[in-house]
Amino acid sequence: MPSALARKSLRDLSRRRARTVFTVLTIALGVAGMSMLAVSDLADRGMREQIESARMYNVNIHVTDVDLDGTNMRELGAIANVKAVDARATIWTRMYIGERRAYVILVGVEDFGHQTLDVITRESGDLPGPMEALTEEANARNGVYGGREGDAARVIARNGTVVEIGITGTARSLVYAPDTYDGIVVLYCGIQTVRAVGNVSGYTSLSFQLGDQSKAAVDRTVEDVRDYLTAHTSVVAFDQLPLLRVGYDWPQKEVFNNILESLAILTVIILLASAFLISNTMNTIISEQRREIGQMKAIGATSRQVFTSFLTTSFVIGAIGAAVGAVLGVLISYEVLVTFSRPFGMSFGFMVDVPMVALSLVVGVGIVLLASMPALVRSARVSVREALESSGISASYGEGAFDRLLMRGKGLPRTVQMGVRNVARKKGRSLATLLQITLAVALFMGMLSLAKAVAVATDEAWAPRTFDIRVEGTVPAELVDDIAAMDGVSTVDPYVTAKALIGTHGVEIWGYSPDTRAWDYRSTMSAGRWFTAEENRTNASVMVVGTALASLEGIGVGDRVHVMLATGDALVEVVGLQDSFMDMGQSVLMPVGSLQHLLRDPSNSGVFIQTTTKDRGVIDRLSVNLEDFMLARGVTVGIMIHYVSQAQDKASNNGTVMIFLFVSMLVVLICMIGLMSTLTMNVLDRTKEIGMLRCIGARARDIRRVFSTEGLFLALVGWGVGLPLGGLIGFFLQAQVKETMRMMLPVYYAWAFVPWAFLVTVVGTLLVIQVPMLRATRFRPGDALRYQ
């Protein structure tokens, strides 16, 4: 049987049910926010199992069609440090989805029943026979291709003919599914099907599992493999830089974790906002019960017993809030995991991060106790006389300069004057409320500033790209002039592109003609110069790099920098810097001839086309004509339309911002609950006053005006303080995104949204104070005057 004191502590919770519910809800949201920290571990745990069962590669090498026999495979497998090797024929081509065309990767597997590495798991249907395929599950999930068992995919073969590949079921693979995130269809076929469609006779992709996965060991093994292939097969060079994966890493892990790390700071803000509200609530509970504290002490309670009584109340609130929050957190963390991992082709069963749940409970209860501590200490210090004389309403109004300041504005209606002056009656509570509103406004402005910065960066990244269509895929030199002669074409500009490593940074190198019309280099150069026609003609090793990359790698104009290409290492001189958002500020541009020389390949990677008009209908039609023109000449190419890709890029960047927005909204929600709670407390504190106002003739609207003035006053001050703070939060978030997403961002403050923030603050405040105001105006004077 609990003591009477313990029972009082518990029953105190039911005396103001609404307040208890608000407080528990706030703690729960704060604790639930912590679950974000669990997502990364959950993903790691889930991926660890999947990586083991999929036997994922450590090194994946792409080569141009190479014939490998059993001896070659054995010898490759016998290279030092190689534990296992597998070869596949994988081709990129185009397919029809309805009337439009999309990229497709056909992955050719020798024997689905005996896959050594990068296991593709059949999920439904039958294994594919000749001219049949399994469709990657993520195709449908990412809205790339919705074909099902029994359908036929219309794929454009390398010879330009359209072939039908029957879909026999679904499958999934950790290696290939992430491509669907970029809008590429993935189909798994028997190797003969891929060879027939792709016009290849051997293999194009080699996967290796290694023993020692240190960088030095991996580099050495890659070089051994390169040496073996160039010495014993038709391979001259790798097609792309080898893909590397260490331990239990997985593709996109860094991006995934970076996003989650950025959310951690918001989790802290959520907890702080909760702590404000809890501290506020405990202060209110104790000031309401000053008289009872006096009564307890008068009948023999020690300060310690009073302290323990309220400590029990806070502990129970904290425990319930933390428990609800932990359950909510488990659900949120799983939902976030599933939502954000889905585009990367991962699928997880329900998982719970038990240590994080335990930590949430401890932190939840701990933060409540800490936030309550000042109020608890004060409660224990209250003397009997002081407590018994307390009327529950501050009678010391008017003692400070701030109180006197608020007494100005004599011309205002009396109810408005009362509302404004009421702000100073419970200064601590008003300050806590003000901080919450400030935080909400600041986050709102910070998020909008981030969103605007991302939008500006996206626009700026695309602005200097002055082409309308990009043809992706080698265009034979003789066809370039034919394209230039097509209706609607203004200019044609061949380009070359290749992946490379500069220092530790993976970059995309672009080879442009010196007088290119596809890139407005004049508007972007910030130092040095653009390369010359002479440098292009003589294959000079020169390049222009983005300022973000220059700053990351400490590169300046005149420096000679090591550039690691698929063909090996090259020393290239930096002749200029460009301040553009292209490739997130990490662009690398070279003369097209120089890059072709370094790649030992005179062909282009595609052409940029400027059209004679910006009419989207004309551009769309020309894009189809171009692809048909190339297909008719046996050349499969991809088509990128500038305005379409720009829109997709914007949508993708907005997705990142949405994640931040989601978490920030949690904080705003907590702040709004805080405001509602404070005003509810004010109404309860002043119930007798409401009764008095009624007694001397105040109508419901007069009472509403008193309380709404108080709420709006706090909201407007919060808005005013929140605006500059929002700038700081915005800059912080922009720095976070810049760092974690490796994205170049302008420093931006959302000035245009200042009036919007005003509107949202005022409307939000007016909405949340409706509940307490309704309560205030429903009191009958008799009930109000009797209220204790």
Partner 1 sequence: MAARLIELRKVDKEYTTGKLSYHALKEVDLDLDEGELAAIVGPSGCGKSTLLNMVTGIDRPTSGTVTVAGERIDTMKEDALASWRGRNLGIIFQFFQLFPTLTALENAMLPMDFARRGTIAEREETAKRNLALVGLAEKLGNLPSELSGGEQQRVAIARSLANDPKLIIGDEPTGNLDSKTEERMFDIIKTLSEQGKTVVYVTHSAALAQRAGRRIRMLDGKIVEG
Name which position in 417, 578, 636, 740 contacts partner 1 (CB under 8 A): 417
418 near partner 1, rule: CB under 8 A: yes
Task: Say if residues 562 and 598 touch (Cβ distance below 8 Å).
Answer: no
11 near partner 1, rule: CB under 8 A: no
How far, in Å, are 255, 275, 310, 323, 678 from residue 315 at the CA level?
A: 39, 14, 8, 12, 21
Alpha-carbon distance 486 to 472, whole Å?
Answer: 18
Give CA angle at 233 (131, 129), nearest 5°: 15
Q: Count CA atoms closer than 13 A to 376's CA, side-chain side.
A: 21
Alpha-carbon distance 262 to 276, whole Å?
Answer: 23
Looking at the Cβ atoms of 77 and 781, the one nearer to partner 1 is: 781
Task: Say if residues 316 and 12 touch (Cβ distance below 8 Å).
Answer: no
Name which position in 421, 426, 704, 742 contacts partner 1 (CB under 8 A): 421
Q: Residue with structure tokens 């040496």?
A: 227
Name which position in 698, 712, 743, 773 contacts partner 1 (CB under 8 A): 698
393 near partner 1, rule: CB under 8 A: yes
Name which position in 359, 640, 700, 754 contacts partner 1 (CB under 8 A): 700
Looking at the Cβ atoms of 219 and 399, the one nearer to partner 1 is: 399
Neighbour count for residue 55 (Cβ, 10 Å): 17
Here's the x/- map for partner 1, 669-688, by CB under 8 A: it reads as: -------------------x
- Considering only the stretches 288-296, 634-642, 691-699, 721-729, report the one whose residues sit in contact with partner 1 under the rule CB under 8 A: 691-699
Smallest distance from partner 1 to CB 653, Å: 51
Looking at the Cβ atoms of 399 and 515, the one nearer to partner 1 is: 399
Looking at the Cβ atoms of 314 and 417, the one nearer to partner 1 is: 417
426 near partner 1, rule: CB under 8 A: no
396 near partner 1, rule: CB under 8 A: yes
Name which position in 16, 425, 704, 738 contacts partner 1 (CB under 8 A): 425
143 near partner 1, rule: CB under 8 A: no
702 near partner 1, rule: CB under 8 A: yes
694 near partner 1, rule: CB under 8 A: yes
Looking at the Cβ atoms of 424 and 540, the one nearer to partner 1 is: 424
Task: Say if residues 240 and 54 touch (Cβ distance below 8 Å).
Answer: no
Give the pair of three-digit tokens for residue 614: 């910006």
Neighbour count for residue 98 (Cβ, 10 Å): 7
Smallest distance from partner 1 to CB 728, Å: 34
- Considering only the stretches 98-106, 240-248, 390-398, 507-515, report the one whose residues sit in contact with partner 1 under the rule CB under 8 A: 390-398
> What angle in degrees, to the nearest 10, is found between the helix axes of 642-685 and 687-695?
70
Helix (H, G, I), strand (E, B) or coil at 61: strand
Name residue 50's amino acid. Q
- Give the residue among 538, 539, 557, 537 at the shortest CA–CA distance from 547: 557
Strands (E) across 424-516 are located at: 469-472, 489-502, 505-512
- Considering only the stretches 204-212, 570-578, 695-703, 763-771, report the one whose residues sit in contact with partner 1 under the rule CB under 8 A: 695-703
Here's the x/- map for partner 1, 449-488, by CB under 8 A: it reads as: ----------------------------------------
395 near partner 1, rule: CB under 8 A: yes
Smallest distance from partner 1 to CB 700, Å: 5
Smallest distance from partner 1 to CB 777, Å: 9
Smallest distance from partner 1 to CB 413, Å: 7
- Considering only the stretches 189-197, 272-280, 395-403, 671-679, report the one whose residues sit in contact with partner 1 under the rule CB under 8 A: 395-403
366 near partner 1, rule: CB under 8 A: no
Name which position in 7, 414, 616, 633 contacts partner 1 (CB under 8 A): 414
Smallest distance from partner 1 to CB 420, Å: 9
Smallest distance from partner 1 to CB 282, Å: 24
Task: Say if residues 494 and 637 touch (Cβ distance below 8 Å).
Answer: no
Residues 687, 691, 692, 694, CA torsion sign: positive
399 near partner 1, rule: CB under 8 A: yes
356 near partner 1, rule: CB under 8 A: no
Name residue 786's amino acid. R
Alpha-carbon distance 253 to 47, whole Å?
Answer: 10
Looking at the Cβ atoms of 229 and 434, the one nearer to partner 1 is: 434
Give the pair of three-digit tokens for residue 122: 């059949």
Smallest distance from partner 1 to CB 21, Å: 22
Residues 726, 727, 728, 732, CA torsion sign: positive
Name which position in 381, 562, 614, 699 contacts partner 1 (CB under 8 A): 699
- Considering only the stretches 279-287, 557-565, 630-638, 775-783, report the one whose residues sit in contact with partner 1 under the rule CB under 8 A: 775-783
- Considering only the stretches 30-38, 416-424, 606-614, 715-723, report the one whose residues sit in contact with partner 1 under the rule CB under 8 A: 416-424
Looking at the Cβ atoms of 300 and 411, the one nearer to partner 1 is: 411
Smallest distance from partner 1 to CB 697, Å: 2
Smallest distance from partner 1 to CB 385, Å: 17
Helix (H, G, I), strand (E, B) or coil at 458: helix
Q: How far is CA 589 from the centre of its chain?
A: 29
Neighbour count for residue 61 (Cβ, 10 Å): 23
Footprint on residues 715-754 left by partner 1 (CB under 8 A) = none
Helices (H), 172-252: 178-181, 191-198, 215-232
Name which position in 300, 355, 697, 755 contacts partner 1 (CB under 8 A): 697
Name which position in 4, 231, 696, 752 contacts partner 1 (CB under 8 A): 696
Residues 275, 276, 277, 283, CA torsion sign: positive
Neighbour count for residue 10 (Cβ, 10 Å): 12
- Considering only the stretches 277-285, 340-348, 388-396, 597-605, report the one whose residues sit in contact with partner 1 under the rule CB under 8 A: 388-396
- Considering only the stretches 332-340, 394-402, 557-565, 633-641, report the one whose residues sit in contact with partner 1 under the rule CB under 8 A: 394-402
Could you tell me whether strands 185-190 and 100-109 are parallel, antiparallel, or unpaired per DSSP bridges?
Answer: parallel
Give the pair of three-digit tokens for residue 514: 């010196």
Q: How many residues bind partner 1 (CB under 8 A)?
A: 36
- String of b and e for 611-621 (b: at least 16 CB within 10 Å)? beeeeeeebbe
Task: Say if residues 387 and 288 touch (Cβ distance below 8 Å).
Answer: no
Task: Say if residues 590 and 451 touch (Cβ distance below 8 Å).
Answer: no
Looking at the Cβ atoms of 71 and 788, the one nearer to partner 1 is: 788
> What angle in degrees, to the nearest 10, is found between the helix axes of 17-34 and 36-54?
40
Smallest distance from partner 1 to CB 402, Å: 12
233 near partner 1, rule: CB under 8 A: no
- Give the residue among 379, 375, 380, 387 at the shortest CA–CA distance from 298: 387
Q: How far is CA 437 from the centre of its chain?
A: 25
392 near partner 1, rule: CB under 8 A: no
Looking at the Cβ atoms of 396 and 504, the one nearer to partner 1 is: 396
Looking at the Cβ atoms of 94 and 694, the one nearer to partner 1 is: 694
Q: How far is CA 583 from the centre of its chain?
A: 18
Name residue 692's amino acid. M
Alpha-carbon distance 184 to 153, whole Å?
Answer: 14
Alpha-carbon distance 112 to 104, whole Å?
Answer: 20
Name which position in 415, 580, 664, 734 contacts partner 1 (CB under 8 A): 415
264 near partner 1, rule: CB under 8 A: no
Residues of this chain that bind partner 1 (CB under 8 A):
391, 393-399, 403, 407, 413-415, 417-418, 421-422, 424-425, 688-689, 691-700, 702, 780-782, 785
